[in-house]
């Protein structure tokens, strides 16, 4: 395996993690506390779907 192939394999999870943080921070801004759990659950389901676990 070439070094660039390792970089490509590692880039996917880093991009997903960054997207999750950005989505969570935007979604939770000015949100009532009783709605936050549902939003975080929806974001987790989205990330699982993008990773192919659902």
Residue 47 to residue 12: CA distance in whole angstroms: 12
Instruction: Report whether pLDDT(53) > 70.
Output: no
Residue 35 to residue 24: CA distance in whole angstroms: 13
Q: What is the pLDDT of residue 44?
A: 86
47: tokens are 């990330």
Nearest Cα residue to 45 out of 30, 23, 12, 18: 23
Count other C-beta atoms under 10 Å from residue 52's C-beta: 6
For residues 7 and 22, the model is more confident at 22
Instruction: Report whether pLDDT(54) > 60.
Output: no
Residue 41 binned pLDDT confidence (cut-offs 50, 70, 90): very high
**Interval 14-35: pLDDT, tens:** 888 888 888 888 888 888 888 8
Residue 54 to residue 46: CA distance in whole angstroms: 9
């Amino acid at each position: 395996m070439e070094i660039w192939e390792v970089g490509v394999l590692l880039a996917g999870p880093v991009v997903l993690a960054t997207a999750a943080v950005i989505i969570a921070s935007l979604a939770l801004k000015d949100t009532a506390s009783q709605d936050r759990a549902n939003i975080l659950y929806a974001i987790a389901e989205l990330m699982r779907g993008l990773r192919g676990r659902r």
